[in-house]
A = this chain, B = another copy of it.
């Protein structure tokens, strides 16, 4: 920790701070500069109590941590890329993985038609929401367990592993029974109780970035998964909230190289939520692949015009198939399969 003192302190005021730093288990290192006195506090910041409380002292101008607060998700802890396995599909290895399917599971017909079509087009994992978090209590909230059963049926028919959202701690075991990957949505990205419940099922967890989550906070939320003995974590960028209103959110593609640099976990891009508009999804997928994403999560619907949720951002079956064709040269350019 670096503690910057206010100017014009008496030596007594200064030494009180130094004493407190020692009391908290750090070795203080005083540097008297031109305009300020600065104290370096040497010690393991993750083992001792945070010196952040010093900000409450009238003598102190600022307190800056030196160590990164995340450990298990960090590249330093695990220099090699880690991979996550959902049945026979490996995410984070050389092949780019595409997860596709409807925003919400609506009916057997809708789901089976989509599942077969996305498989034919090259998707390796089927997505579909059975429990839906909705801004308004008056909107469609998902089919619940009935939706999960349909997903399991679609997996049986197509062989595609399935990913679906976990909304409630109380459903963790039930959802884990059906799903191959548990998705934690953006609104729940700092619902730590849910993260812990998801981690404890042992299933891979895909953690979407919250709408106003800094990279560091996202990594720390991931830390809740790994520190609960579940190493199977995927980070999924799906757009952050900014002032721009043209798109629903601003897809922060820089998150791909940043997460790759700071962490060993695979990175997934969700362009459907990011854009909120099907017509931008293709360009965003190309960008995501080029920037090094390990997987894509794409909303596809046999008839988006009649979808029960988020119709505007879902691709048609044809649109998805065309996307997969257009992506090929970019996948090759990125050195992937």
Residues of A within 8 A of B (CB): 2, 4, 7, 20, 29, 31-36, 38, 40, 42-46, 49-50, 52-57, 64, 66-67, 69-71, 76, 133-139, 167-170, 187-188, 190-194, 210-212, 214-217, 220-221, 223-224, 227-228, 240-247, 250-254, 256-258, 261, 274-275, 277-280, 283-284, 286-292, 304-308, 311-314, 329-330, 332-334
Min CB distance, A20 to chain B, in Å?
A: 7
With the chains together, A247 CA to B240 CA distance in Å? 14
Q: Can you report 9 A-B residue pairs in the complex whose CB atoms are below 8 A from each other?
A: A29-B29, A34-B67, A136-B223, A137-B224, A187-B190, A250-B252, A254-B283, A287-B290, A290-B330
Known: A56-B312, A283-B292, A330-B330. 5 other contacts (CB 8 A): A34-B45, A136-B223, A168-B169, A242-B250, A290-B291
User: Do B38 and A31 touch (CB < 8 A)?
Assistant: no
CB-contact partner of A212 in B32, B133, B134, B211, under 8 A: B211
User: Do A35 and B31 touch (CB < 8 A)?
Assistant: no
With the chains together, A279 CA to B251 CA distance in Å? 20
Residues of chain B within 8 A (CB-CB) of A278 are 56
CB-nearest residue of chain B to A68: B35
